[in-house]
Structure 1
């Protein structure tokens, strides 16, 4: 295609040309105003001079027409994989590209928009417009479910071409979702956490898709604690019991409604950290000894511990006949208040070298045993008094909860405590530092173990530290009173504070010290499954993927008692795992991504972008097929680019210039001749007039 246009290439600077033209124009106008007959010819000469200096050129260009550009954005986010929408989107994109090509003069650019956690479709629309020459952009077609996390910016989108939204969802689809309204992040042990939530059945365009109720289950660490039918669309609250300290996984799950799009948003998960208001410890010491201060210093150094400490100073046999036991103490010993009325208020009871003095009776010991069976914790740190008739092991109402019974008098002599095979796996003793440099102890109580696990041993493999579970509670037995030697640095010392802290916290059911534990952790795009167990063969873990698929995952041992598996490039979302009675929840990416907050196809989020660009919104799904709008070309500046059943494209008429040729509008001699002729004519006219005037005066 050839096109011509007039162009100027001035021979002098533009300012000089303007000044000369202005001066000539002023002189010519003044001469005409004064009545000079040659004024018009002078004006013609000035114009010819201006054209000579402006050097007009006739520019001829060879142009190649360019196709208009239509951009097709295909939403391939996670929500598009629901109900076959991704297949509908691909089919619609293929059909739309074919129709655009059939129109002629249209270049089709196809782009994909992903998103596992969210869909930033408005950002993609703006990017498509920015990457396309504005003089060629004819239209943008977004094939999507309409859900965009950046929809708030849709009204601010500035496009020079229409944006058409093609929705891939069905006209009658619906989905059930649960929304957390309020929940605490922390709570107190033995109290409850209030969780407020709402269950909605959502239909097209955000309309309610049902009335009535839905059954919601509340689980704490995988154990169901409540199940109740709740009204749809109303705020409801559940009370979740916080039974032990540490991180608790709370799940709210609404029952599935047949035919809904997905069940991924039927569950809400939150982590609540349960903390103890104060750790209440009751320490009962026998006669004073060097190790008593170790326990007291350890417990008093923790500001979160409330310590109640009593020491039995004299045995009952040292009193006079007839003296009451209460009269032998410096202060009255409140045995009934401590061991009957308020025993359940303590988190841990420690007997440190305690010998039976007649202060506690059979009923007290029986109550202590029930306290342990109901979830309490007792630690017995024994010395020589553990053997004999006055030993705690000789109290029949108490001895049955002990994991080992004495086998004779104390063995005196140096030995180095060692970690047993079970101790290398157990979190209480596993990883204690510098085991090869531990100092020696000088005494151990021989005992016959009958239950529990031996974590530390003495000479010849004799049990030194035994931990056991009794009913709902726990019992620890330390068969030496020489842990204080480590505190004094004897023979190099040892990690006495860390050891005793771990024992106490295990007895009080600290989750981090549980020997049987399962955790799921997101590491980038990977999911890491970790299992801690005392078993050599923990077996596979049953893992529920965000999609609902269940897999059996085998674990590899990484250290004694520690097993692990890693899922590379795992699907983003919430994972749940079970291994026997153990339960864990974890997430890759976001546990509750915005992508699944609303999954029903909706025209409202992107409607402002279509309206601002004079485009349209169309539902293209018909069952499992598609029905695209008709395509039309429209002139730039049209009032609308969309209507009932049709979508428009701006006809740009853009082109590319391949070559140009310039030729002078006239040769320089032509302009010079024209100037000379004009000036000569003006001189002749004005000269003839000047000669006639004197003759007329002379005749008069």
Structure 2
């Protein structure tokens, strides 16, 4: 806006008239003429009017402009009716924007979730770079954002450096309240027979703490049991006994408030892993050998194993002239190990054990009874098994899975292979087939060929002679390796083989590791599907499983065979509500039971489910934008604003109008319009005449 002059007469004429007026003023002052001031004022005003003062306004051309419509589609938006509120507002804003000239509205959905929460500003900054004519941003959200910056980014500034308005539309009637239950401390594992100490806390978000709340356990039959009384904002301790190896799961929830926005984060599944306290293994080596070193290194490296190792260096009937006092040996504590403390061991390994008058048959009978009552026994057999009085000729013969004839020695190079049963058994399935050894595992050069065997053969020679036999004996387990050359793999013979993993699995199967059970029932929740798997020792026809839902109702799920696997599998679709709420599903088949829990699919999103303006409100206010609550109210209207003194109102949202100046084009407005100035001149002249007449 500028001041221009368009005089009626030439500048010289106006200057002459001005000099005449000044001369008349001087003469009138000298003569003291009455009314002089009024007449001179009228003449000066007339002279100013004849000079033609005008205000020149530049002509502006509207420019295309863009606005972002950022829609929160994160998991927390599925609470209550938030999606419908947002879609209604989106439709209203889109319809209004279509009626405004030169305004283009761009919708951007922010999915959120995946453990990272809602990242609105990451999306806004990225999209703002694509639209240089951005005029404002509409945020349709519950207000829970997890990348809110301390101040608005530079990408949200206009061409003149002013902040673009952010208008916040929230999916509620006002600030909400959310009660949640969270774990403060939970042990990753607990020794079986001990108690797990867990600390929980109830939080009332959006209101003052101190309200009473009951912590309950949701039982499989749908009933509930009180675990503890608590106060919101204060921690509470729970004690859970751990009675078995594997996961112990508890479905725990807190009673909701009357104004609780959602019960989604009111429940949690406590999952405590029960472990055995230091698995005790007794390793007895008949003679010093490479295999004993391999076993010792493997078991010593396992932090869960407490190894007791004896090597027989001198049999009791050995006769020489060495004085007893000069022998750096200790007597083999047979009575202590195989009579007094045999039940304290989880696994006994007899490696190349010759039994040359070392163990009386009564102690070997104790080992057999130890197996029948639930113990584990591993025998690695070599040439000593062909001698008279070997283990197969003692009380152990009834529990050993193989008998070796006197001519049952194989002395040729061969590559051990998995049997069909070995392809499926947890001890050997999944062992790496390729590696430094190429396509076949490294060779062994000696093995025993049994004439009788029972149990399951996992490894065999190329001619089918078993190399690794597993068998269940009453409550216990027995494994027999019909070769003493597995240690060659650790030396890299022809590339070696997966010796460490094989022996680790074998020893833990003998000690009844739940994950290595060949006959087990597994269940887990993947997305919105409950998957149930039944692992069997051999292929089976389809079977049904009974599923006990968290509500206490029963469903039947058919498990069908899987190709090339002795596994039955079934899948049960779950609702979105089932997967959002942390509850336990119980699955039964035959005498087996499995549990599955969805857990918390997105702990960041579910940590606070309120609709609130507290997080985004300060930035919205700093940008001169407005905050609106959608529930129970109409969608605010959109206005294109030229005067930016206010960019929002109680029911409207403003967008600054983008305009540019048209070069050389102006709109002129007279500063002294004739309809206004002429009456003033006449009034001044009349006042002068009136003053002169007095």
Give TM class, smaller chain.
0.5 to 0.7
Q: CA RMSD in A?
A: 5.9
Q: Name which of structure 1's ranges 384-393 and 179-188 shifts more when overlaid on structure 2.
A: 384-393
1:81 aligns with 2:78: yes
What is the TM-score normalised by the length of structure 1?
0.61
Q: Which string of whole-angstrom CA distances, capped at 9 and with x for unpartnered residues, describes residues 580-633 of structure 1?
A: 658687999x943412221232232222223333444333213xxx54457778
Local SS of the residue matching 1:477: strand
Q: Which residue of 2 aligns with 1:599?
A: 609
* Compared CA separation, residues 384 and 107, structure 1 to 2 (3 A): closer
8 Å CA contact 2:252, 2:269 repeated in 1: no
8 Å CA contact 1:73, 1:142 repeated in 2: yes
8 Å CA contact 1:387, 1:409 repeated in 2: yes
Alignment of 1:456-605 (within 5 A): 456-457=459-460, 461-469=464-472, 473-481=476-484, 499-509=502-512, 515=518, 534-536=537-539, 591-605=601-615
Q: Which residue of 1 aligns with 2:144?
A: 147
Q: Which string of whole-angstrom CA distances, capped at 9 and with x for unpartnered residues, describes residues 491-550 of structure 1?
A: 998776664444224324557755468697999x99999997644469699999xx99x9
Residue 300 (structure 1) shift:
3.7
Alignment of 1:286-305 (within 5 A): 286=286, 288=287, 292-300=289-297, 303-304=300-301
1:446 aligns with 2:456: no
Match of 1:169 among 169, 172, 193: 172
8 Å CA contact 1:409, 1:446 repeated in 2: no
Local SS of the residue matching 2:349: strand
* Compared CA separation, residues 466 and 627, structure 1 to 2 (3 A): same
Local SS of the residue matching 1:212: strand
Local SS of the residue matching 1:338: helix
Local SS of the residue matching 2:613: coil
Residue 454 (structure 1) shift:
1.7
Q: Which string of whole-angstrom CA distances, capped at 9 and with x for unpartnered residues, describes residues 287-307 of structure 1?
A: x3x7x4422343146642654
Q: Which residue of 2 aligns with 1:213?
A: 214
1:310 aligns with 2:301: no
Q: Which residue of 1 aligns with 2:27?
A: none
Question: Counterparts of 1:216 and 1:431 in 2: how far apart (Å)?
Answer: 44
Q: Which string of whole-angstrom CA distances, capped at 9 and with x for unpartnered residues, describes residues 320-358 of structure 1?
A: xxxxxxxx9963433343345544554431123353847
Alignment of 1:186-201 (within 5 A): 194-200=197-203
Local SS of the residue matching 1:621: coil
Residue 475 (structure 1) shift:
2.2
**Residue correspondences, number:** 571
Residue 91 (structure 1) shift:
0.9
Q: Name which of structure 1's ranges 229-238 and 358-367 shifts more when overlaid on structure 2.
A: 358-367
Q: Which string of whole-angstrom CA distances, capped at 9 and with x for unpartnered residues, describes residues 4-32 of structure 1?
A: 8879xxxxxxxxxxxxxxxxxxxxxxxxx
Q: Which residue of 2 aligns with 1:655?
A: 659
Alignment of 1:16-31 (within 5 A): none
Residue 422 (structure 1) shift:
0.6
What is the TM-score normalised by the length of structure 2?
0.62
Question: Counterparts of 1:541 and 1:628 in 2: how far apart (Å)?
Answer: 53
Q: Which residue of 1 aligns with 2:119?
A: 120
Question: Counterparts of 1:499 and 1:278 in 2: how far apart (Å)?
Answer: 21
Question: Counterparts of 1:216 and 1:360 in 2: how far apart (Å)?
Answer: 55
8 Å CA contact 1:438, 1:494 repeated in 2: no
Match of 2:181 among 154, 178, 181: 178
Question: Counterparts of 2:479 and 2:279 in 1: how far apart (Å)?
Answer: 18
Question: Counterparts of 1:339 and 1:103 in 2: how far apart (Å)?
Answer: 93
Question: Counterparts of 1:147 and 1:543 in 2: how far apart (Å)?
Answer: 40
Q: Which residue of 2 aligns with 1:679?
A: none
Q: Which residue of 2 aligns with 1:377?
A: 376
Question: Counterparts of 1:365 and 1:181 in 2: how far apart (Å)?
Answer: 52
Residue 281 (structure 1) shift:
2.8
* Compared CA separation, residues 296 and 627, structure 1 to 2 (3 A): same
Alignment of 1:284-433 (within 5 A): 284-286=284-286, 288=287, 292-300=289-297, 303-304=300-301, 307-311=307-311, 331-339=330-338, 341-343=340-342, 345-352=344-351, 353=353, 355=355, 357=357, 359=359, 362=362, 365-366=365-366, 369-370=369-370, 373-374=373-374, 376-382=375-381, 392=391, 402=399, 404=401, 406=403, 409=406, 411-414=408-411, 416=414, 418-429=417-428, 430-431=431-432
Local SS of the residue matching 1:83: coil
Q: Which residue of 2 aligns with 1:253?
A: 251
8 Å CA contact 1:100, 1:106 repeated in 2: yes
Question: Counterparts of 1:295 and 1:454 in 2: how far apart (Å)?
Answer: 23
* Compared CA separation, residues 150 and 445, structure 1 to 2 (3 A): same
Question: Counterparts of 2:98 and 2:605 in 1: how far apart (Å)?
Answer: 33
Local SS of the residue matching 1:298: helix
Local SS of the residue matching 1:310: strand
Residue 404 (structure 1) shift:
2.6
Question: Counterparts of 2:543 and 2:614 in 1: how far apart (Å)?
Answer: 46
Question: Counterparts of 1:109 and 1:488 in 2: how far apart (Å)?
Answer: 66
8 Å CA contact 1:68, 1:107 repeated in 2: yes
Local SS of the residue matching 1:91: helix
Question: Counterparts of 1:497 and 1:192 in 2: how far apart (Å)?
Answer: 34
Question: Counterparts of 1:609 and 1:330 in 2: how far apart (Å)?
Answer: 81
8 Å CA contact 1:216, 1:254 repeated in 2: yes
Question: Counterparts of 1:285 and 1:5 in 2: how far apart (Å)?
Answer: 111
Local SS of the residue matching 1:79: helix
Local SS of the residue matching 2:81: helix
Q: Which runs of 5+ in 1 are unaligned?
A: 8-57, 220-225, 320-327, 664-700
Q: Which residue of 2 aligns with 1:667?
A: none
* Compared CA separation, residues 75 and 330, structure 1 to 2 (3 A): closer
8 Å CA contact 1:355, 1:390 repeated in 2: yes
* Compared CA separation, residues 188 and 332, structure 1 to 2 (3 A): same
Q: Which residue of 2 aligns with 1:235?
A: 236
Local SS of the residue matching 2:602: coil
Q: Which runs of 5+ in 2 are unaligned?
A: 6-54, 320-326, 668-694
Match of 2:622 among 585, 590, 612: 612
Residue 465 (structure 1) shift:
2.0
Question: Counterparts of 2:240 and 2:265 in 1: how far apart (Å)?
Answer: 21
Question: Counterparts of 1:106 and 1:489 in 2: how far apart (Å)?
Answer: 73
* Compared CA separation, residues 250 and 87, structure 1 to 2 (3 A): farther
* Compared CA separation, residues 261 and 59, structure 1 to 2 (3 A): closer
* Compared CA separation, residues 302 and 5, structure 1 to 2 (3 A): farther
Q: Which residue of 2 aligns with 1:281?
A: 281
8 Å CA contact 1:60, 1:660 repeated in 2: no
Residue 563 (structure 1) shift:
9.5
Residue 552 (structure 1) shift:
7.4
Question: Counterparts of 1:649 and 1:459 in 2: how far apart (Å)?
Answer: 81
Q: Which residue of 1 aligns with 2:10?
A: none
